[in-house]
């Protein structure tokens, strides 16, 4: 048995641990694993691939990034604009499937987010067996309670806030930290709570600048001269559009700049010295946390189990501490968003964190 493995979309901590899990589990069955480089692009002629031997993947689970490389803007990009889906041209699908069969690959493991898994569904529709592994630091993929990379990204946010807190206190400043989170505010929410933020602004809760300013002034009146504000890149004030760094470049438009805008407005409203920092790709880099290493390894093993059981068209899923599986179609149908009335948001508000809403 020979199976294929590729990574699609943005990189994130834990992708190499998935590879470690897939190769290790396959070796136990006497199978061979072919790793395709640069995501789906590696399936096209000339094919970019290599045999992944267990002896070469033993120590990679601690490494960040991916030894296979990835792509999120190639010819197989299936996400276009805000929620749009693009059908991959049949000639590309035919070429990719022909090359897979020429390599002797009988099933393909696709690790990625909703775009990668949407493309994986098209492979299934064309009759080629696939299994999906959910990968997104935003934790916004439906049908799984957690995705690897999220915990590592959150830890980067917490570390940044710990560092910003000391400089904020030294200068009595408001520090605004912009983090990733296009549609879902999970990174901002968990990172903000863990890092002691005074306000957390997320896409699911449209905010009011004056409400955020009020909490900062209230803190100052109580003797707290400095404050931390975390804002997800997809957050926006009530009635306003999201802030884009780049548009019209093919694929989804690039968000960015809301942190600077929030900092400027809060400075005007409070009269306090305000600075902004954008973490950007720092959240994607570096070694995965122990949680992400274990979860990603379990995901890789489960993907091989699904192939062994011939349960194709399914995505590995983490629910209630158990790794199972769901239909890929179900997984990409609905995003996993923060519930504005949920327990985590209520807990944050209970300790005085503002979301800039009227509640």
pLDDT tens per residue, range 316-348: 999 999 999 999 988 888 889 999 999 999 999
Predicted local distance difference test score (pLDDT) of residue 293: 96
Q: State residue 255's pLDDT score.
A: 84
pLDDT of amino acid 252: 63
pLDDT digits (tens, 9 = 90+) for 134-151: 998 999 888 899 999 999
Among 38-47, 71-80, 284-293, 346-355, whose mean pLDDT is lowest? Answer: 71-80
What pLDDT, in 10s, does the model give residues 176-228? 999 999 899 999 999 999 999 999 999 999 999 999 999 999 999 999 999 99
| Cα separation, 18 vs 292, whole angstroms | 10
pLDDT of residue 126: 94
Q: Evaluate whether 212 touches 241 at the Cβ level (below 8 Å).
A: no
Q: Looking at the annotation, which residues are catalytic? A: 138
What is the rounded CA–CA span in Å between residue 88 and residue 122?
A: 8
Report the pLDDT value the prediction gives residue 224, as an integer from 0 to 100.
Answer: 93
pLDDT tens column, 156-173: 999 999 999 999 999 999
Domain annotation for the chain: domains and CATH numbers: 2-148+288-333 (3.40.50.450), 153-284 (3.40.50.460)
User: pLDDT tens for residues 247-299?
Assistant: 655 556 778 889 999 999 999 999 999 999 999 889 888 999 999 999 999 99
pLDDT exceeds 90 at position 108 = yes
Beta strands in the chain (DSSP E): 2-7, 32-36, 49-51, 79-80, 84-85, 107-112, 130-134, 174-179, 199-201, 227-232, 244-246, 254-255, 274-278, 314-319, 322-327
């Amino acid at each position: 048995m020979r199976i294929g493995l590729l990574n699609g979309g943005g990189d994130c901590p834990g992708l190499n641990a998935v590879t470690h899990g897939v190769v290790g589990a396959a070796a136990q069955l006497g199978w061979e694993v072919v790793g395709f480089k640069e995501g789906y692009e590696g399936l096209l002629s000339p094919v970019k691939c290599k045999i992944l031997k267990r002896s070469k993947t033993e120590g990679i689970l601690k490494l960040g990034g991916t030894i296979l490389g990835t792509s999120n803007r190639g010819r197989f990009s299936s996400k276009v604009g805000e929620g749009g889906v693009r059908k991959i041209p049949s000639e590309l699908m035919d070429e990719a499937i022909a090359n897979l069969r020429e390599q002797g690959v009988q099933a393909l493991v696709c690790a990625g987010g909703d775009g990668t898994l949407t493309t994986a569904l098209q492979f299934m529709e064309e009759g080629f067996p696939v299994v999906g592994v959910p990968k997104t630091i935003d934790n916004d993929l439906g049908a799984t309670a957690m995705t690897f990379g999220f915990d590592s990204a959150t830890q980067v946010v917490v570390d940044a806030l710990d560092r910003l807190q000391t400089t904020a206190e030294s200068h009595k400043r408001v520090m605004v930290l912009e983090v990733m989170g296009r549609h879902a505010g999970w990174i901002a929410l968990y990172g903000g709570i863990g890092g002691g933020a005074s306000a957390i602004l997320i896409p699911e809760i449209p905010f009011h600048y004056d409400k955020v300013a009020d909490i900062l002034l209230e803190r100052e009146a109580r003797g707290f001269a400095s404050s931390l504000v975390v804002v997800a890149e997809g957050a926006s004030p009530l009635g306003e559009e999201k802030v884009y760094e780049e548009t019209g470049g093919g694929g989804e438009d690039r968000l960015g700049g809301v942190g600077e805008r929030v900092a400027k407005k809060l400075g005007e409203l409070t009269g306090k010295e305000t600075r902004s920092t954008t973490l950007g790709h720092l959240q994607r880099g570096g070694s995965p946390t122990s949680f992400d290493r274990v979860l990603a390894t379990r995901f890789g093993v489960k993907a091989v189990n699904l192939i062994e059981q011939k349960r194709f068209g399914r995505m590995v899923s983490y629910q209630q501490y158990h790794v199972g599986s769901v239909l890929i179609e179900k997984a990409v149908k609905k995003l996993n968003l923060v519930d504005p009335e949920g327990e985590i948001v209520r807990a944050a508000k209970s300790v005085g964190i503002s979301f800039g809403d009227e509640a």
